[in-house]
Structure 1
Amino acid sequence: MPVNSFGKRATKSINSQIPHLLAVPNGSTKQLIVNGSPFLVRGAELHNSSPTSAKYMATQWEKFADMNINTLLVGFGWEQFEQTEGTFDFSEFDQIVLDARVHEMYLIVLWFGAYKNALSTYVPPWVKTNTARFPRAKINSTTGIITADALSTFSPETVSADAKAFSAFMAHLKHFDEGHFTVLMVQVENESGIIGDSRDRSSEADAVFTSPVPDVFVQFLRDEWESLYVDMRTSLAKTWTPTTNVTNTGWEAMFGKSTYTDELFMAYSFAGYLNTVAEAGKKEYSLPLYANFNGVKMPPGVPARTPGDVFPSGGALSEVLDVWQIFAPALDILSADVYNGDYNGTHEVYGHRNYPRFVPEQRQDDYGVRRIWNAIGSHQAIGASPFGIDTLEPSTSALGRTYGLIKDVSKILLKAQEDPEKMIGFYFDDPKDLSADPANTTIVQMGEWEITLGRAFGFAPTTSPGGGIVIQLDNPSAAQATFLLIGWGFQASFKSLNPAATFTGILTFREMNVTNGTLHETGMVFNGDETGSGEVARMPNVEFDLGGFPIPILIPAGTAIGKVNVYYITT
C-alpha cells in the first residue's frame, strides 16, 4: 500500500490520492486537494540557487518549520538535470525530496527550462552553444538588432528538447514520489515572455509574423469577444473588432502596427510553447501545473506600460490573458508574481474564467505578509509564497506568526472559501512602507449587513498596520448575525441594511480558540474599552499603538480569533 509523504498509510487508490484541483460547490474557483482533503498552501520560495545543494538545505529545514511553512517552492534548472543530452541525473533533487519527507514538508517544484525571467540562462551548455540548432531571439536596441540571451519560441528543436527534458523529469517524479505525494504541483518555466523588445525579431519569428494569422486564433477572438477580459477587449478594440473586415496577410495587417500587436503575437507563441511542454509532462504524471508571470495591475494614474519594457512581452498579463487561457489548457493556474502594484486588483484579473488563484512569489516583509489575508480571504487563493525565505529569520519575521494563525484556522478558511460572498480578506499598511496602500477603511456587504473595517485604535486614531479575515458564520435569527474575526490590528463596526432598523449593536463578543478545526471559547469576554463601549469589535495588535494617547485602554492581542454576535432593533 502506498505511503504518503509523512509516513501515514494512504487509504485510497493512488490515482484518487494524486494532488489535484477540485471545483468548490458553486463553481467559483477550485481548491487544491491533498490526500483527499482541501489543502491551504502556507508556502515560501527559496532563493534560486538554494535547492541545487541538499547539503545547504540540510541547514535550513528547521528554520522553515519554525515559520509554520508547510510547502516549499524549490527551483530546479534544466541544466542541473541534463548536462549531457539524453542523460539525466536527479540525485540531488531526490535527496531534497527525501529530506522534505523527514521534515514533514511538501514541495512545489519550479521547472526552470528554456525560460527563467524571460531569459534562457538555465538551459544546459549543449543548448546554449548550439545556436544553429537552438536559435536565439533577436531584439531591437539603440544600436540595431541584437542577439538576446533568450531562445526563440519559434524553433521546433528548442520546444522539443525542453518538452523531452520536462517529460523525463515528470516521469521520474511519478516513479520516485507517487504514493508519497511530497510534490504537490509543478511550475512550468518562470516569468515567460520576451524582455527588451515587444517581440522576437529573428528570421524565424518574422516569417510567422508576416504570414496570415492562424484561423483558429481569429475565430477564437470572434467567438469569445464578449467573454474576453475587459483589458484585452479594450486593447483589441482600438484596431480590431469581430466585424473588422481586412485581408489576413499577417499580424500587422489584421491587428494594426503597434506594440500591442507584437504582444498579442508573442502571447500566442509563448502560450503554445508552454502548453507543448506542459502536455508532455502531464502525459507522464498528472500533477497540477501552473505558470507564473512578471506583470501586475498597477494603481490608477500609473502610466501605461510598454510591452517588453518593465514586464516581458507575451506573458499572461491582463491584456492578453485569454490567449493563454484558451491556447494553454494544460496549465491549470496562471498567476502573477506580486511584489508591488495593485495586489487586490491583480488577483481579480487572474480569477477570470473562474481560474484558481495562487501567489507564487511576493514580498517576504510585513507589507507582503499581511497581504496573504487578502489572497486567501477575498480571492479564495490556494495559498501564497513569499520569496527568498532562506534569508528570513523566524525571530524577526511576521510570517511565522501569520502562518501559525492560518495553520490553526485552515479548515475554517477552506470551508468559508466555498461561499466567497461571506468572507473578506484585507490589510492596512504602514504609511512608511514602500508602495503603501493609503486606505484606512474597507467597507463590505455580507447579506443584510454592512461591515466597516478599519485600523484598531483606542481614543486616538493610529497608522498602525493590520490585516485579517472576516467570515459570516450564520444568522441565529432574522435580526442577528454571527461573524468570525481573524487577525490583528483592525476593528469592525456593523450596520443592518434593513430599512426598518433603528439601531445596530453588539450582542456578544468573545475570544475564541481552535482545536482540530473546531472553534471553542477561551473564557475571555470582550466589552467596554475593547468594544469602544459597544460600537466596534476590536482585534488589537500584539504591541498596541495608543496613537499618542497616554492611557493604555486596550489589552494586547491574545488568540487573534474573535466571534461577534450583532443585532438590530426596529423600535
Structure 2
Amino acid sequence: MKKRIIDISVAGILLLLANACQEVEKIASTPIPTLEKHTSGYTLYVDGQPFTILGGQCGNSSNWPATLPQVWETMRGMNANTLEIPVYWEEIEAKEGEYDFSSVQLLLDQARNEDMRLVLLWFATWKNGSNHYTPEWFKQDSGQYFNTVGKDGQQVDSPSPHCKAAMEKDAAAFRELMKYLKENDPCHTVIMVQVENEPGTWGSVRDYSRSNDKLFSENVPDALLKPEILKELGAKAESGNWKAVFGERADEYFNAWHIASYIEHVAAAGKAVNPLPLYVNAALRDPLSNPPATQYESGGPTDNVIAIYKAAAPHIDICAPDIYLQGDANVLTVIDLYDREDNALFVPETGGNVKYLYEVLTKGIGFSPFGVDGRMNEESPLSKEYKLLKPIAGKLAEWQKEGMLYSATEPEGEYVKELDLGEWKAIMTFGKSRRSNSIPTGERKGSGSQSTGKAFFVKFAEGDFLAMGTNVRFTFEPSGKNAGRAWHYLRVEEGCFNENGEWVMRRVLNGDQTDWGGPFIGDEPGMLRIRVYSREPRN
C-alpha cells in the first residue's frame, strides 16, 4: 500500500512537470507582437493572431498599488481588452543607475490575473511638453540636464532636445525597462510601448540658445532632402540651411527633427533588446487652419511633421493622435491625416465621445479614451460598444485586412447619409425612429445639435452584411449592374457574438420592424445580420 502511494505521488509529480514543461514551451513559442503592413492598412498581431485594441487609459497618477484596484474594476466594467498605463522614470530610477521594476512586475501579475493586455506609457524626458517625470537627481542638476531657452534668453518649462546627457540617461533607463520586459514577460502581456508622452516644446518654437542658433544655420540633413519629403513639408529650396529650405516653418521643423532624433535614440536602445512595437503620441494642432507653431506644442508629432518623424525616428512604428478636438470636420480630418501609407492609425487618447469609434476601427488598430478609472462603468456608452465588439476583436482586425469594413457617422446638420458597399448602397437615416422615406426631399438637413448617430458594416458578400450602430435606421438600394431593380430584405437577424466569436441570433426582424423604413437601432448599440436581394425585372 505504501509503495502504491509513493508510485502515485511520483506519477503525479511527473505529470505536473510535464504540464509545466508544455506550458513553458508554449510561452517560449509565443511570437512577439508585431505591426504588419498590408494593402488595406496595418494589422497588429498578438500571439501571432490579428488583434484590435479596445482600450482604456487610466489617469496619470493611477499606477500605484493603492489605486490599481479601481483601475481594474473600471477596465472590467468597460469590457476593454487592453489597459494603457504609465510607468514613471522618476520611480524606476529613483537613485541614479539603480533600477526598481517592482511596479512593473505588479502590473504584469495583475494584468495576467485580469486577462488584460498592457500598453506601457514611458513617462520620462517628456510628459505633455515638460520633464516633470524625470528623477529627482535629474531635476536637481539643471546645469547638466538643461531646458530649452526661449527667444528672450529665459529657460522655458520644456526639456531641450539638444541635451545629450539627458538623452543618454533616458535611453539607458528605457533599455533597462525593455530588457526587464524581455526577461519577465515571455507571454507578452505588454503588446506595445509608448515612448515619452506628447513630446514637444511649450513657450518657445525651438531652443534659441547660442549653440543651437549655430546649429540652426547649418544645412538641413540629407534624410529630409528626399523629393517626396520636401514636397510634403512645403520646402522653398532643395538644399541649404533650415531657413533657406523651409522658410517660416524652419524653426518648428528644426525642433521637430531634433526632438524626433532624441526619441529615436531612446527607442533604438529599447528595441535593441526587445523589439516590441513602439509609438509616440501627439498633442494636436488645429488640422484645418495651419496655425503657427506658437499656438501649439512645437516639435511634437503633429500632422504637419509626420514626415520628419518618419525620417528621423525609424524605430518608432506609429505617430498616434490624441484626439480631444470637437466636431466632424476636425476629428475626421485628423483620422485621415494619421491614416497614412507609412503610418498605422491608432488613437491612444481621446475624450468620452464614442461617435468616432467605428471610423477609427474601420481604418486603425485601436481606440482608447483617457482617464477612464472612476469614470467608465458597465452603463457607459463605450462599455456597451466594447461588450459587443470584444468577442470579435480579432475578427475585426482580419476583416479590416480584407477590406470588409465600412463606417459612417451622422453628419452634423443632416439626417441621411449614403455609403457605397459595392453592388449595394446603404442609406442610413440618423435620429430617434426617423425614416428616410418619411423625410421630404430637400428637408434632410437638421440642426445637428444631437449629432451622435453612427453605423458600422462588415461586408461578408454582396448583399450580406453585419450592421452595427446607434440611433440609425438601415435601408438599401441596388447599385451597379442591379441599379434600379426592386429589392427587399431576405433576412434580418438581431443578435450578438458569444465569447467564442459565434453569432447568436436573438430574434428575426420582419413586418413592422423592416417594412417601415428599415430596421432601427436606438440609443443602445446593437448588431444586425442583414441579407438583401434584388428581384429579376419582369416585362
* C-alpha contact 2:87 2:123 (8 A) present in aligned 1: yes
* Equivalent residue, structure 2, for 1:519: 503
- AA matched with 1:85: E
Between 1:63-72 and 1:181-190, the stretch displaced more is 63-72
* Equivalent residue, structure 2, for 1:552: none
Q: CA deviation at 1:499?
A: 5.9
- Output the CA distance in 2 between the equivalents of 1:530 and 1:139: 64
Report the CA distance shift for 1:13/1:49 in structure 2 as closer, same or farther (over 3 A). closer
Report the CA distance shift for 1:320/1:570 in structure 2 as closer, same or farther (over 3 A). farther
- AA matched with 2:208: R
After superposition, give the CA deviation of every residue in 1:152-186 in whole Å (9 maximum; x if it has no partner).
11122121111111111111121121x22111110
Secondary structure of 2:299 counterpart = coil
Count of residues in Structure 1 that have an aligned counterpart in Structure 2: 501
Report the CA distance shift for 1:566/1:297 in structure 2 as closer, same or farther (over 3 A). farther
Secondary structure of 2:345 counterpart = coil
Match of 1:540 among 483, 506, 522: 522
Match of 1:264 among 232, 237, 253: 253
* Equivalent residue, structure 2, for 1:554: none
- AA matched with 2:534: Y
* Equivalent residue, structure 2, for 1:66: 77
* C-alpha contact 1:67 1:404 (8 A) present in aligned 2: yes
Q: What aligned pairs does 1:172-571 form with structure 2 within 5 A after superposition?
A: 172-177=180-185, 179-218=186-225, 220=226, 222=227, 224-225=229-230, 228=232, 232=233, 236-237=234-235, 239-240=236-237, 242=238, 248=240, 250-256=241-247, 258=248, 260-295=249-284, 298=287, 303-309=289-295, 311-341=296-326, 342-364=330-352, 368-377=353-362, 379=363, 381-420=364-403, 422-428=404-410, 437-456=412-431, 457-458=433-434, 463=450, 465-475=452-462, 481-498=463-480, 501-508=483-490, 509-515=492-498, 516-522=500-506, 524-533=507-516, 535-542=517-524, 559-567=526-534, 569-571=536-538
Secondary structure of 1:94 counterpart = helix
Q: CA deviation at 1:293?
A: 0.5
Report the CA distance shift for 1:530/1:171 in structure 2 as closer, same or farther (over 3 A). same
- AA matched with 1:165: A
After superposition, give the CA deviation of every residue in 1:211-251 in whole Å (9 maximum; x if it has no partner).
22223332x2x25456x4xxx3xxx15x34x4xxx7x3x31
Report the CA distance shift for 1:225/1:265 in structure 2 as closer, same or farther (over 3 A). closer
Q: Is residue 99 of structure 1 aligned with residue 110 of structure 2? A: yes
- Output the CA distance in 2 between the equivalents of 1:63 and 1:13: 28
* C-alpha contact 2:405 2:458 (8 A) present in aligned 1: yes
Report the CA distance shift for 1:10/1:502 in structure 2 as closer, same or farther (over 3 A). farther
Report the CA distance shift for 1:214/1:428 in structure 2 as closer, same or farther (over 3 A). same
- AA matched with 1:14: A
Q: CA deviation at 1:458?
A: 4.2
Q: CA deviation at 1:399?
A: 1.9
- Output the CA distance in 2 between the equivalents of 1:148 and 1:169: 29
Match of 1:158 among 160, 166, 170: 166
Report the CA distance shift for 1:319/1:23 in structure 2 as closer, same or farther (over 3 A). closer
Report the CA distance shift for 1:441/1:188 in structure 2 as closer, same or farther (over 3 A). farther
Q: CA deviation at 1:394?
A: 1.0
Return the TM-score normalized by structure 2: 0.86
Report the CA distance shift for 1:8/1:121 in structure 2 as closer, same or farther (over 3 A). farther
Report the CA distance shift for 1:167/1:389 in structure 2 as closer, same or farther (over 3 A). same
- Output the CA distance in 2 between the equivalents of 1:520 and 1:10: 36
Q: CA deviation at 1:471?
A: 1.8
- Output the CA distance in 2 between the equivalents of 1:566 and 1:204: 71
* C-alpha contact 1:10 1:35 (8 A) present in aligned 2: no
Q: CA deviation at 1:536?
A: 2.8
* C-alpha contact 1:127 1:134 (8 A) present in aligned 2: yes
Q: Is residue 31 of structure 1 aligned with residue 43 of structure 2? A: yes
Report the CA distance shift for 1:439/1:276 in structure 2 as closer, same or farther (over 3 A). farther
Report the CA distance shift for 1:507/1:12 in structure 2 as closer, same or farther (over 3 A). same
Q: CA deviation at 1:75?
A: 0.7
- Output the CA distance in 2 between the equivalents of 1:11 and 1:426: 45
After superposition, give the CA deviation of every residue in 1:462-507 in whole Å (9 maximum; x if it has no partner).
94732231122113xxxxx112101222122222223663334323
Alignment root-mean-square deviation, CA: 2.5
- Output the CA distance in 1 between the equivalents of 2:87 and 2:294: 25
Percent identity over the alignment is: 28
Where in structure 1 are there 5+ consecutive unaligned residues?
1-6, 430-436, 476-480, 543-556
After superposition, give the CA deviation of every residue in 1:265-308 in whole Å (9 maximum; x if it has no partner).
11111111111110000011111111100115645xxx442214
- AA matched with 2:425: E
Report the CA distance shift for 1:500/1:204 in structure 2 as closer, same or farther (over 3 A). same
* Equivalent residue, structure 2, for 1:167: 175
Q: CA deviation at 1:324?
A: 0.9
Report the CA distance shift for 1:411/1:505 in structure 2 as closer, same or farther (over 3 A). farther
After superposition, give the CA deviation of every residue in 1:94-133 in whole Å (9 maximum; x if it has no partner).
1122111112121110001101101111111222222221
Report the CA distance shift for 1:15/1:325 in structure 2 as closer, same or farther (over 3 A). farther
Report the CA distance shift for 1:8/1:317 in structure 2 as closer, same or farther (over 3 A). farther
Higher relative contact order (CA 8 A, sep 6+): 2
Q: CA deviation at 1:13?
A: 6.6
- AA matched with 1:313: S
* Equivalent residue, structure 1, for 2:58: 46
- Output the CA distance in 2 between the equivalents of 1:392 and 1:315: 29
After superposition, give the CA deviation of every residue in 1:400-419 in whole Å (9 maximum; x if it has no partner).
11110111332442222023
- AA matched with 1:472: K
- Output the CA distance in 1 between the equivalents of 2:154 and 2:67: 38
After superposition, give the CA deviation of every residue in 1:522-550 in whole Å (9 maximum; x if it has no partner).
3x2223332243x43322333xxxxxxxx
Secondary structure of 1:30 counterpart = strand
- Output the CA distance in 2 between the equivalents of 1:262 and 1:569: 65
* C-alpha contact 2:157 2:202 (8 A) present in aligned 1: no
* C-alpha contact 1:46 1:72 (8 A) present in aligned 2: yes
